[in-house]
Structure 1
Amino acid sequence: MLNLLTTNQLSRSFHQHQIVQPLDLQLSRGDILGLLGPNGAGKSTIMRMICGDLAPSSGAVEICGFDLLEQPLQAKRNIGYLPERPPLHPDQTVDEFLADCAYLHGLSRAQIGEARSAAKKHCGLEQSGRRLIRKLSKGYQQRVGLAQAIIHDPQLLILDEPTDGLDPGQIRQLRELIKALATDKAVILSSHILSEIQATCNRVVILQQGKTVYNGDITPAEQTGYRLGLEQNPLESEIAALPAIATAEQMHTDYFLITLEPGYRPSECLEQLLGRGWQVCELSPASRSLEQLFLQATTGGLQ
């Protein structure tokens, strides 16, 4: 299967300071990659290099098999880019702006009308075509920015903070749109909202000071223990004193995170808990959340 995006040791330096350390990525159809990291971690720099807006200091980018530096026109025809600040022309109407974007992407005059209608329908702009962009709300301007990114039906979508300015209903609609588009495309999505990355993406790259500290599945398979909820509120030491339990940590007033001693099963742990007279309201496998993954990765807890 042809990769829609391949980066090989992609990096960027400025005045001998490495802003982005060498990054290797491969995305194929159906992939939705979330880029996470604190402010200044290098997320926007990576997206700008991938879309050809910023030249890398070293490394290579291939889009649908085309080298971005050697074959820029062929590569860029397959990219749709929504920067953090949408590149809008406020004194144009939505229809005028989208028609210009389609023309710049190489669509013929016969193709522009159909492509514009499809993009407007995807982004909920059917009734906004004759409105001036400067008179639209911030949320609708964001929709216009997304429409210009998809109007030429690109294979790779690069979206930098696409939910900025949208209300919860619009965010939900955008999430469903991204998932629908990703059935035959690859998407890179940057957001500070972890819940949006969790709900939308299937892969994640976490950056810290330009270095990739995690690159993998959005929900790591590794189990971190068991989530234990009790009607009572015993001390951690009292729970850990049970033969089946190796460690116990109170994660919240409502539950503990426990690990079992080797050889013990959850059913045996449950018997011991009930034997102490504690009422158990929950004992379920616990997996590391995206928030835990992010915090561990950016504070040096992951290798």
Structure 2
Amino acid sequence: MIEVENLTRYYGTRRAINNISFQIEKGEVVGFLGPNGAGKSTTMNIISCILPASSGSAKINGFDTFEQSLEIRKIIGYLPETPPVYPDMTVAGFLKFSAGIRGVNSKKIPSAVERVIEKCSIKDVSHRIIGRLSKGYQQRVGLAQAMVHDPEILILDEPTVGLDPIQIIEIRKLIQELAAEHTIILSSHILPEITQICKRVIIINEGEIAAVDSLGGLTASLRKSERLSLTVRNSEDNLEEGLKNLVQVLSVSRGEENQFLIECELRSNLQDEIAKLALEKNWGIVELKPVPMTLEDIFLKLTLEEKEPAA
């Protein structure tokens, strides 16, 4: 459905993205991650026909984003980081206007507007001026305008930025509901959000693709060790030393109270040995559990650790 091949974009002499390639299939919900200035918004703007590429190509359903932008605009809905709304218009008036410029048949505009008002839960504010709405409601209106022409693909750039916790939960729930009906590209700095919503992630760093895979696939390819969390009742001075003396333990760090993070070699199966040692030393295990690799761990490894020079 979406094919990006060797995409490069310059701003003057500065190269924003360099030779990036990826594919997104119909029905996928893909997270698009990267540090500030990594090239996420540039890539999304090219896919959305807002910017031309300097070289390479981006195609949606076989249509080229530069040469056939009118065809593509019919099948994508784009919500940039700042919702593209007119603050002096009413919600309903703005959505009717948006439907018209997106080519919705004039006879179908009322039903199209009613559909997105209902789906985005903005019926109670449909006759209010947009500029007087809360940030959360303005974000919902921005999402409604991206959906009013019933596009196959939704491209959402930081849809929860600047929202309070309750608004974030509401928008996140809405996106999860939309995922059943649309192909979605979601850019977000909130990594747990990506974990909850997306099946696959694309990580971009310094204008280049760092990884494209499922969370499970990235974990399997990047994990070099395993971690265990140990909490005990009785913490003695040489507890850390005792743990470090176990074969296959790489490091031990102390957390809050009597909690310890143990890094060990892959597939070391140390739980039994730790439990035996704890019994001998009368530590009194409160909890011993594996610590899974998170998307945050993966993100930091790909965007920070790889930049550090080798010793």
1:175 partnered with 2:172: yes
Distance of 2:291 and 2:117 partners within structure 1: 42
Q: 2:246 aligns with which of 242, 245, 248?
A: 242
> CA offset at residue 302 of structure 1?
8.7
Matching residue within 177, 190, 202 for 1:193: 190
Of 76, 85, 90, the residue aligned with 2:87 is 90
Q: Matches of 2:2 and 2:292 in 1, distance apart?
A: 30
Give 1:71's aligned amino acid: Q
Q: For the residues of structure 2 that align with 1:262 and 1:138, how far apart are their CA atoms? A: 48
Distance 1:294 1:185, change over 3 A: same
Match in the other structure for 2:299: 294
Residue ranges of structure 2 left out of the alignment (5+ in a row): none
Partner of residue 275, structure 2: 270
Distance 1:19 1:186 in 2: 25
CA distance in 1, matches of 2:119, 2:106: 21
Aligned AA for 2:253?
Answer: Q
Q: CA RMSD in A?
A: 2.3
Cα distance in 1 for partners of 2:227, 2:2 equals: 38
Larger mean Cα displacement after TM superposition, 79-88 or 280-289 = 280-289
Question: Contact conserved, 1:206 with 1:213, CA < 8 A, in 2?
Answer: yes
Q: Which moved more, 1:234-243 or 1:290-299?
A: 234-243
Deviation at 1:128, TM superposition (A): 1.4
Secondary structure of residue in 1 paired with 2:45: helix
What letter matches 1:266 in structure 2?
A: Q
Q: Residue type of the partner of 2:38?
A: A
Cα-to-partner distance string for 1:75-109 (whole Å, 9 max, x where unaligned): 22111001111111122111111011111111112
Aligned to 1:109, what secondary structure does the other structure show?
coil
1:211 aligns with 2:208: yes
Alpha-carbon distance in structure 1 between the residues aligned to 2:168 and 2:140: 11
Note the alpha carbon deviations across 1:52-79, whole angstroms, 9 max, x for none: 1010111111112222223222222111
List alignment gaps of at least 5 residues for structure 1. Answer: none
Which among 47, 50, 53 is matched to residue 47 of structure 2?
50
Q: 1:155 Cα deviation (Å)?
A: 1.3
Q: Which residue of 1 aligns with 2:137?
A: 140
Distance 1:261 1:242, change over 3 A: farther
205-214 or 290-299, which moves further after superposition? 205-214
Contact 2:219 2:298 in 1 (8 A): no
Partner residue in 1 for 2:118: 121
Percent identity, please.
37
| 8 Å CA contact retained: 1:237, 1:248 | no
2:298 maps to a residue whose letter is L
**1:126 corresponds to which letter in structure 2?**
K
**SS of alignment partner, residue 123 of structure 2:** coil
Deviation at 1:141, TM superposition (A): 1.2
The question of whether the paired residues in 2 share the 8 Å contact of 1:227 and 1:282 is answered with no
Contact 1:228–1:280 (CA<8 Å) still a contact in 2? no
Q: Distance in 2 between matches of 1:181 and 1:135?
A: 26
When structure 1 is superposed on structure 2, of 221-230 and 141-150 the one drifting more is: 221-230
Summarize the Cα distance change of 1:92–1:261 in structure 2 as closer, same or farther, 3 Å threshold: closer
**CA distance in structure 2 between the partners assigned to 1:236 and 1:211 by the alignment:** 41
Greater displacement, 203-212 / 148-157: 203-212
Count how many residue pairs are aligned between Structure 1 and Structure 2. Answer: 299
Match of 1:5 in 2: 2
